[in-house]
Structure 1
Amino acid sequence: MRWLFASQLRPYVWLAAGASLVLNLVLVMPAVYMMQVFDRVFASRSLETLGMLSALVALALALGYAMDVVRSRALAWAGSLVDRQLSPAALRASLERASLPGRTRDAEALRDISALRSFLAGSAILALFDAPWVPVYLIAITLMHPLLGVVSAAGAVLLFALTLATDTLTRRAAESAQQHSRAVQRHTQSLIRHAEAIAGMGMASAAVRGWSERHEALISSRSRLGERSARLAALARISRQALQAALLGIGAWLVIGEHASPGIMVAATIMFGRALQPVEQLIAGWKTLVEARAAWRRLEEPGSAQVMRDTLALPAPQGRIDVERVVFSPAAQRAPLIKGVSFSLEAGESMG
């Protein structure tokens, strides 16, 4: 994902990273609040302490809301910048590539740019910004009690391993789905371009059958990818819930043995859930991440625009129009309004 650190995007990425820093520090407050309520407020039965703690956590969450909005807006601005700067060049390259003989006439580069913009506006990239804070949460849990820290670290390693397994198990299916999708799009565009010839030769039924075969392959590849991704995402959700329940049970055991307070038990469970949340989001949004990565790789491939500039040198335009045997019909099924018209006009001349 090194394209995120391009010079044009760097200010927005750093702004999003700074907002993530403040946001993740703020999101520790609910766990601290729970710990203080269980260990101090219940023991002292002080309503003043409860009110002050509640006001502080409310202010902290308001700041967290503001930072979350800033982060989302910064990434949305980055997506708009990618679209604004790359789309004209991509369209120009597509036009030049389409003019070369034997080249497909499609707007694949524009679709790739749209995929990058959607990725920057989605939830998967937010998980990337939150993932570096997982060790911080684990260290905080370890400071509460070493055993809780060991269990939390083991759970985090398990979910990270599940993330790597998601990449391994879905990469080939995702690439297959993308290839089938591009093939169907190119075939559809080809059919539309040659619609008159297909209708004139009575080949519409055969064209639809050929398209249906390609489309069925696309549906099958997408179904395989969706099924595999859904299973892994469900496994990640259940694993996170099971790990939180296990941590809560171990915390209760420590409380019963008077090795930890009830506040530590609850705070560690909340903080552990927050630590695993970005990992779960990464697994759920892995399809979007893979599509964005593949889109950038295709955009990095050397295009054929330079070939056109190197091999085709057009003469300077002249002020002259030559028309020979022009035929014009407003619709394919109507007789032509103009047929067999030829004329020449020099610069400055007009025809009435």
Structure 2
Amino acid sequence: MPMLDAIKRHLWSIALFGIASNVLVLAPTIYLLQVYDRVLPSRSLETLSMLMMFMGIALSMMLAVDLVRHRLLSDLGRQLADRLDRLALAARIDTHARRLSRPELATAQDVAALRAFLSGSGVTAFLDMPWLVVYLGLMFLFHWSLGLIAIVSALLLVGLTLLNDRLTENSVRAYTTRQRETDQMAAQISRNAEIVTVLGMNAAMIDAWSARRCVDLDAQVKAGETSSLNRSIGKALRQVIQAVMMGAGAWLVINQFATGGVMLATTILLGKALAPVEQMLGSWKQFTEVRQAWTRLDALYRSSPERRAVELPRPTGRLTVEALAFSSYSATGPRGRMLLKGIQFVLNPGQLLVIVGASASGKSTLLRLLAGLWEPQAGTVRLDGADIAQWPREALGRFLGYVPQDVELFAGTVAANIARDPNPAAADTGAIVRAAQRAYVHETILGLPNGYETEIGESGETLSGGQRQAIALARALYGDPRLVLLDEPNANLDADGERLLNSALLQLKRDCVTVVVVTHRQSVLSIADRVMLMRNGQVDCFGTREQVEAWVKSRARPAAAPQSGEQRREAAAS
């Protein structure tokens, strides 16, 4: 659904209060007109008292209406920002998980810009713009010359606003795009802080970031200076226009075409009429940023949430892969070489598959496809006969355990990481302990300073590599997973760690959990039910460990040396 349709009801309410506000804005003009044209000539204190009373009521109502309108805009900004922030974070998680490049994706900065615009004076000025026509019509009722001056004045300010847009749009677009890239660069440097520090890259990376940041700031300052210059010109032009209007009104009064009240009323009314234009001119830079962000935010809002499918029964863990093919891709579609081609196999519940092969043979890519993280260009991954893409992500996560090659833990406690929830108080503490016991890391956790409540720091920095991998395995085993996918789970383990890992895998087999392990080490092969040897994105051999070992030995046996003609004749004679 378009974002404009979602906020249309709010906008109609705000517009209705805007009508009331703009009608009440006329009260000071009418009051001044009546005082000059009725009270002063008649010297009637009763009339003045009544006018002041009605003026007080009108101003009180205007204050209440403006407060309500501002509150509605603030509520709209907050509700919309909360919704968009969640969508933006979900889209960012999905983009990073799928390793896509999507520079057009809306960011938190876009949401903040929209919220600031809705909470500021720019949106009220935009909504009050149609009332310019009403004010100009009222001035024509006083005298055609006053209306003509007002029209020319409005055209001058509108023209200045459009000129400001033309002068600043490209520069604002350029620096906002570059600023997004600079922010991404800073985040990348922070993620790789360890290697940057160890290799002495600090100065080089900071200099590169600073250079980009200086270019961004220069472009931002240039756009701001252009907008500020136009705003100053607009303010001065408005003062000149009011002086011209006052002079024209005085000329009309001298020639008895109008009264003194009309002269002052039209001057004040012109100020009210041109105020929205001047406000828009003052906040045009912000308006330009929001206009550019609106396209990205609207596309984000239109992206339908994960559709609610019929809830599938708890899977047993039968995994079927049918003619799987996958190539590297971007947000726009497939590109690059084929990473996987013609992958197919079947695993029954409780079977352990070990995938081996040289680096870049497609092992980790296959594991991501089995997890439903990436979508294949051809073929299907089925869990209990259902295409894994049919499973809602949240529902699938309950039955899926996954340990990636690069283990990432979250800042918080050990319990929070195992429970897959920053607030483990709501989780089943018994399930947390059982997961740790199944991963054979329970004793290790008890040895930490605060046991399961130990804070592990950003990305688990207070833990060793082996401890991080063991806790990641416990997180994968939390709940009741029926399919467990492990990518190099023993990369940081010593001999005792590998022995405990094998014990955990054997227990999973006894619990009829289907397990797929990618590894370069040989220790897991001894307990494997099936072994897959991959080469260049294809299956070289698939079968039991003995079958694969026999196939590898047959491939490694040197071919017989070619015989000479004399040897062939001797062999034939014998």
Q: Tell me whether the two structures share a fold, i.e. TM-score over 0.5.
A: yes
Q: 1:24 aligns with which of 8, 22, 40?
A: 22
Higher helix share: 1
Aligned runs of 1:21-100 on 2, under 5 Å? 21-100=19-98
Asked if the contact 1:93/1:305 (under 8 Å) is kept, the reply is: no
Q: 1:229 aligns with which of 220, 227, 230?
A: 227
In 1, the alpha carbon distance for the partners of 2:8 and 2:463 equals 58
In 1, the alpha carbon distance for the partners of 2:254 and 2:211 equals 64
* Max Rg structure: 2
- Is 2:116 the partner of 1:118? yes
Query: Aligned pair in 2 of structure 1 residues 289, 314: CA closer, same or farther (>3 Å)?
Result: farther
Asked if the contact 2:101/2:331 (under 8 Å) is kept, the reply is: no
Measure how far apart 1:306 and its partner are.
10
Aligned runs of 1:193-272 on 2, under 5 Å? 193-272=191-270
Aligned runs of 1:156-175 on 2, under 5 Å? 156-175=154-173
Higher strand share: 2
Larger deviation: 192-201 or 77-86?
A: 77-86
Measure how far apart 1:241 and its partner are.
1.0
Query: Aligned pair in 2 of structure 1 residues 113, 333: CA closer, same or farther (>3 Å)?
Result: closer
Asked if the contact 2:100/2:331 (under 8 Å) is kept, the reply is: no
Q: Give unmatched runs, 5+ long, in structure 1.
A: none
Asked if the contact 1:98/1:106 (under 8 Å) is kept, the reply is: no
The corresponding residue for 2:145 is 147
Q: 1:278 aligns with which of 276, 279, 287?
A: 276
Measure how far apart 1:41 and its partner are.
1.1
Measure how far apart 1:301 and its partner are.
4.9
Specify the SS of the correspondent of 1:18. helix
In 2, the alpha carbon distance for the partners of 1:62 and 1:16 equals 19
Question: How far does the alpha carbon of each residue in 1:321-341 deviate from its partner, in whole angstroms, 9 at most, with x for none?
Answer: 599xx9x99897998795633
Query: Aligned pair in 2 of structure 1 residues 292, 124: CA closer, same or farther (>3 Å)?
Result: same
In 2, the alpha carbon distance for the partners of 1:276 and 1:56 equals 26
What amino acid is the match of 2:297? Answer: L
Measure how far apart 1:214 and its partner are.
0.4
Asked if the contact 2:245/2:267 (under 8 Å) is kept, the reply is: yes
In 2, the alpha carbon distance for the partners of 1:103 and 1:176 equals 19
In 2, the alpha carbon distance for the partners of 1:23 and 1:69 equals 10
In 1, the alpha carbon distance for the partners of 2:99 and 2:67 equals 49
In 1, the alpha carbon distance for the partners of 2:331 and 2:93 equals 9
Specify the SS of the correspondent of 2:72. helix
TM-score, normalising length from structure 1?
Answer: 0.88
Measure how far apart 1:79 and its partner are.
1.3
Larger deviation: 298-307 or 195-204?
A: 298-307
Query: Aligned pair in 2 of structure 1 residues 299, 179: CA closer, same or farther (>3 Å)?
Result: same
Q: 1:311 aligns with which of 363, 376, 380?
A: 376
The corresponding residue for 2:321 is none
- Percent identity, aligned pairs only, is 32
Larger deviation: 261-270 or 179-188?
A: 179-188
Root mean square deviation, CA, Å: 3.1
Measure how far apart 1:299 and its partner are.
2.9
In 1, the alpha carbon distance for the partners of 2:103 and 2:440 equals 28
Measure how far apart 1:310 and its partner are.
3.1
Asked if the contact 1:94/1:105 (under 8 Å) is kept, the reply is: no
Asked if the contact 1:5/1:13 (under 8 Å) is kept, the reply is: no
In 2, the alpha carbon distance for the partners of 1:143 and 1:82 equals 42
Larger deviation: 120-129 or 109-118?
A: 109-118
Measure how far apart 1:317 and its partner are.
2.3
Asked if the contact 1:83/1:117 (under 8 Å) is kept, the reply is: yes
TM-score, normalising length from structure 2?
Answer: 0.55
What amino acid is the match of 2:400? Answer: P
Asked if the contact 2:39/2:47 (under 8 Å) is kept, the reply is: yes
Larger deviation: 336-345 or 70-79?
A: 336-345
The corresponding residue for 2:180 is 182
Specify the SS of the correspondent of 2:400. coil
Question: How far does the alpha carbon of each residue in 1:11-39 deviate from its partner, in whole angstroms, 9 at most, with x for none?
Answer: 21011000010110010110111111111
Measure how far apart 1:184 and its partner are.
1.4
In 1, the alpha carbon distance for the partners of 2:55 and 2:374 equals 62
Query: How many pairs were matched up?
Result: 344
Asked if the contact 1:106/1:189 (under 8 Å) is kept, the reply is: no
Asked if the contact 2:102/2:331 (under 8 Å) is kept, the reply is: no
In 2, the alpha carbon distance for the partners of 1:112 and 1:32 equals 43
Specify the SS of the correspondent of 1:310. coil
Measure how far apart 1:42 and its partner are.
1.0
Q: Relative contact order, CA 8 A, sep 6+: which one is greater? A: 1
Q: Give unmatched runs, 5+ long, in structure 2.
A: 304-329, 334-372, 384-398, 402-434, 449-455, 468-492, 512-574
Larger deviation: 110-119 or 334-343?
A: 334-343
The corresponding residue for 2:555 is none
Asked if the contact 1:156/1:276 (under 8 Å) is kept, the reply is: yes
Larger deviation: 134-143 or 174-183?
A: 174-183
Larger deviation: 265-274 or 312-321?
A: 312-321
